[in-house]
Amino acid sequence: MTTVPISSTDKETSFLARLWSPRNRYYFIAFLFIFPALINFSIFRYLPIFAAARSSLWQYSLLGGYRDFIGLQHYENMMIDPYFWKSMKVTALFVLMKVPIQVVLSLVFAILLQKETKTSAVVRSAIFTPVVTSVVVVSIIWAMMYHSQLGLINSMLSAFGIPRQIFLSDPDRALPAMTAMMVWKDLGFSMIIIMAGLKGIPTVYREAAIVDGAKPWQIMRHITLPLLKRVLMFVVVTQTIFSFQNFVPVYVMTKGGPMDATKVIVYYIYQFGFLFQDMGYASAMSIVTLLILLVVSMIQMRLFRTDVEY
């Protein structure tokens, strides 16, 4: 057997062939598909996050620009800022009230309305309409509805002989009132996602359970819910993130009051960034909020992890 020496040209050809292998071609094409999204994320998501992280280490305001480098001073101040913690508490309360109520209601409506009938189509549309309505408009209308003197809700209460109630100016009722509005606003979004998830579950499992004599509640508990886990995870994680970012209703309806009862963290950040000329501190709070959201999302994803495939 004789050995044929490999020329440098052959080596290059072989390297190029390996580089352009079917596997690498597959990755290259896949990369091309995600490239525009990567550009979008880099410019509009990651760069601002890096910029905020940098700003949080400086004395920085929109008008005054960067002044002194202060390291972690803003973060230290945040630890002893009672209003920051109160805002975090209000935000957490809002999320804890809104997300579970919304998910449970969405699930109930999705199950009730999944059958294709004319009535269910109308009701589905009615529930989904608020999703595509401007949150500013919705907030203004609900603020009018909640008004203690002029509001529709109080007119209805009066018609039943119930005394007029103060909603948005009462520290104990303002946040629940806003939560109710936001559940109404976002219900359609999560309902549609869950409905799509329900339709994706093969009917064979349900039919087999019925043959085995399972009751509806048992089917729900042992078949539907486990197979919906991934969809529910998506709904819970996205709704938690959206709820953490709640701003417009607070800005329009209460300005964070009364007694700071609705001052959610994003509104507090807005005040410092745009009204109090302290974008550095606002950036630091934004970074902490981002990290909290990352941790919460990771916990939620772990809780909803499932090995069930279908």
Write each residue from 82 to 121 as x if it is in contact with other proteins (CB under 8 A), else as -, in one continuous string: -x--------------------------------------
Q: Nearest distance from residue 50's CB to other proteins, in Å?
A: 5
Q: Which of residues 190-209 bind other proteins (CB under 8 A)?
A: none
Looking at 128, 145, 170, 180, which residue binds other proteins (CB under 8 A)?
Answer: 170
| Rounded (5°) CA angle 171-106-123 | 105
The position carrying tokens 């064979």 is 204
- Cα–Cα distance measured from residue 42 to residue 8, given in angstroms and rounded to the nearest whole number: 40
Stretch in the footprint of other proteins (CB under 8 A) among 7-15, 124-132, 200-208, 256-264: 256-264
Looking at 245, 257, 300, 304, which residue binds other proteins (CB under 8 A)?
Answer: 257
Q: Which of residues 37-66 bind other proteins (CB under 8 A)?
A: 49-50, 53-58, 61-66
- Cα–Cα distance measured from residue 245 to residue 286, given in angstroms and rounded to the nearest whole number: 10
Q: Nearest distance from residue 152's CB to other proteins, in Å?
A: 14
Q: Closer CB to other proteins, residue 5 or residue 82?
A: 82
Any residues with CB less than 8 A from the CB of 182 and at least 6 apart, and which? 98, 243, 246, 249
Q: Nearest distance from residue 71's CB to other proteins, in Å?
A: 8
Cβ–Cβ < 8 Å for 184, 292: no
Looking at 41, 69, 85, 310, which residue binds other proteins (CB under 8 A)?
Answer: 69
Q: Closer CB to other proteins, residue 102 or residue 283?
A: 283
| Rounded (5°) CA angle 283-286-292 | 145
Looking at 97, 98, 102, 147, which residue binds other proteins (CB under 8 A)?
Answer: 147
Q: In this structure, which amino acid lies at residue 258?
A: P
Any residues with CB less than 8 A from the CB of 6 and at least 6 apart, and which? none
Helix, strand, or coil (residue 67): strand
Residue burial 104-113, b: 16+ Cβ < 10 Å; e: rest: ebbbebbbeb
Task: List residues near other proteins by CB under 8 A.
Answer: 49-50, 53-58, 61-66, 69, 71, 83, 147-150, 158, 163-164, 166, 168-171, 255-260, 271, 274-278, 294
